[in-house]
Each structure stands twice: as structure tokens, then as C-alpha cells.
Amino acid sequence: MVDQRLYTHSSTTRSKCTTTEGYRGLCSTQSQEHREMLGSSFLALALVLHSGVLIRFRQHAVAISGDICTVSSAHAVRPSHFRSMSATISQSLPTEDEARQLVNKMRSVLGSGRFEIRQWASNFPSVVEHLPANTKSESIELWLQKNHSDPQEPALGLIWHCLDDHLGYKHHPTAECLPIMRHIYKVLASQYDPLRFVTPFTTRAKVLVHRLWAKPRGCDDPNLTTNLLERWKAWEQELPNLAKVMFPRCYIPSHFSEEGSRFSLHIFCDAAKVAYGAVAYLLIEHQGEIHTSFVMARSRVAPKRQLTMPVGTLYLLGWCPAC
């Protein structure tokens, strides 16, 4: 699904488009109905949709991605205006032949509507090597020609290391400024983690923010608690290490066969006085060998009124992110 937003710049009407594929029948037009279930804002729904897309992107051995981009008068608001549209394709399939057929089919179907797919990328070079050079990702083209670069393609907010087929994170540095609540929230918002793989790390910061709000203060109040401020600075200094965090894109190891494997999903919940959460793992059994893959996690900071809420109740709340 494509979310289009018009904006005006230099007396020209343009369109900025992002895409999030529907998952389990949900779409952005249904956000009002699902807000109470998914959270207090549309962001919660967007994260669920992105998680669903990433789950499919990690499902099979052969992955492909591309950007739909064109300038077409057929979708203009007025005949005199042109609208720039962009969307992202991310999918995985069991075999190289199926992936190549899907690439060719999408290029044919979308091409008939004057949409062009560029920045094609795959962890298997044979899937995209037949495409014109101007439609392939520059990093993939370097990989196909020189075979010694480490192509890194953006994949729904994460970095996809095509060469070893791993997903990773990109550190988004923010300008140094006075440590106030506004800056702290800006830093936290810049850490996009749709699958919550680094939840143990980000939860530490959320707990600190929770404790900083224990005393009434404004967003621009510079008088933060000294010991909590020192812990925040220590956490912030660890942010560059996120670029070193990687995990396998595909759930199934390369030497496993999908047809001969048995799959089971295991969800674990836990709670403490400061936070609670859940994590899901996919257990794969193949010819007596067992492999576990991280699927996703969710966590929340414990409510402020902890005196009247026993830990047992928090354990029950831990099931909420799992549902």
C-alpha cells in the first residue's frame, strides 16, 4: 500500500510517497479501528505492518528488493503537474528461478503502467545479473563485476548486507546539545528497530526516561538528576556500537531444506519491576539438527503506579506484547 502526501516547495506541487505492504489484511485506512489494540497512535500500526513485511522478507532463502520510482502524468493531481512516486519492494522466495521469474513479472506488469523498478538487489547475483545496469543497485553491480565489495542495501529501515545475507543497524548520529528531555526523545526516536532485536539495549534508555519523569519537569528543563544523566550519557556513548550488530536475514540455515524441516514458534514472556516484555523464536528441526532464529520482540516500561501492582500482574502484562 502506498501512502501519498502532497507538499509544496518553490511554487511546485510534489508528492512524497512511502509504502508499507498490508499484513494480515490491515491497512492504513483501518488504523482508526485498530488504534486501541495496537497502541495510542498510528505509529504502532506502522511498526506492525513493517514487521509483517520483514517477516516475509526473512522467510525464504532467496531475497530480492527494489525501488518503484517514476514520473508519470497519469497519476497527476492536475494535467499540468507531474507526481513523483516511490515505493519499496521486499520479498523472499525458496529458489533462484522463482525469484528471477517474480522480478521479470513485476518489471513487466509495472512497466505497462509506466512504473519503473530500480535499485534491484539480491543475495544471489544470478537473480538480477540479467537486468540492465541502470536498474540494478550500484553496490550489487560492483559485487557482480568485482566480487570483493560488501554491498549494503537498505531494507525497511535496516541495512541488508547482501554478501553474507545479514541484517544490521545503521547508527544515526545526532548533533550534540544540552541534555534535556527534548534531546533525549530525539535520540531515542532516531533508533528505528521494527523487529526490536536490540530491545535489551533500548529498554535501558526507556527506563531512564521513565525515572527522569518521576519529578515534574518540562521538555527543556536542563536540571536533570545527576546520576540518571550520567547513566544516559554512558548509554548514548554506546550507540555507535549498533553498527556492529547483525543477525541472519533468513530464518532457515542454508544447509536446511524447507520441505524436510519442522517449524515451531516459541514465545517467552518476562517481567520485572521496571519493565516487561516478550520475545518470539522460530525453532527449526531438520534431520536431527535443531536451529533457532529470532523472530521479533516487544517490551514496555512498567506503569508508574508500581506500589499497587504486584510483579505477578506484570507477568500477565508481559503477554500483551506477545499477543
Q: What gap in Å lies between CA 154 and CA 158, rounded to an integer? A: 6
Same domain? For 62 and 192 the reply is no
Cell readout for 313 is 500482574
User: What are the CA-CA distances from residue 130 to residues 5, 120, 228, 259, 285 (Å)?
Assistant: 35, 11, 56, 29, 36
Same domain? For 14 and 136 the reply is yes
Same domain? For 87 and 116 the reply is yes
Same domain? For 301 and 240 the reply is no
Residue 176 within any structural domain of the chain: no
Which pTM value belongs to this model? 0.72
Residue 174 within any structural domain of the chain: no
Q: Which domain holds residue 296?
A: 255-322
Residue 173 within any structural domain of the chain: no
Q: How many domains does the chain have?
A: 3
Q: What gap in Å lies between CA 253 and CA 203, rounded to an integer? A: 29
Residue 18 has pLDDT above 70, yes or no: no
- How confident is the model at residue 318, as a pLDDT? 58
Give the 3-state secondary structure of residue 14. Answer: strand
Q: What is the pLDDT of residues 171-221, one digit of tens each?
A: 877 777 777 888 888 888 888 888 999 999 999 999 988 888 877 777 777
Same domain? For 116 and 201 the reply is no
Same domain? For 316 and 193 the reply is no
Q: What is the pLDDT of residues 232-268, one digit of tens each?
A: 889 989 999 999 999 999 999 988 988 889 999 999 9
Q: What is the pLDDT of residues 239-249, one digit of tens each?
A: 999 999 999 99
Residue 175 within any structural domain of the chain: no
- How many helices and strands in the chain, by DSSP H and E? 9, 12
Same domain? For 291 and 191 the reply is no
Q: Last residue of some domain: 224, 244, 264? A: 244
Residue 28 within any structural domain of the chain: yes
Residue 250 within any structural domain of the chain: no
Q: Last residue of some domain: 222, 244, 266? A: 244
Residue 47 within any structural domain of the chain: yes
Residue 27 within any structural domain of the chain: yes
Q: Last residue of some domain: 168, 200, 232? A: 168
Same domain? For 30 and 120 the reply is yes
Same domain? For 163 and 189 the reply is no
Pairwise pLDDT comparison (139 vs 2), residue with the higher score: 139
Cell readout for 247 is 543477525
Same domain? For 46 and 130 the reply is yes
Q: What gap in Å lies between CA 184 and CA 186, rounded to an integer? A: 5
Same domain? For 17 and 133 the reply is yes
Same domain? For 148 and 204 the reply is no
Cell readout for 276 is 516487561
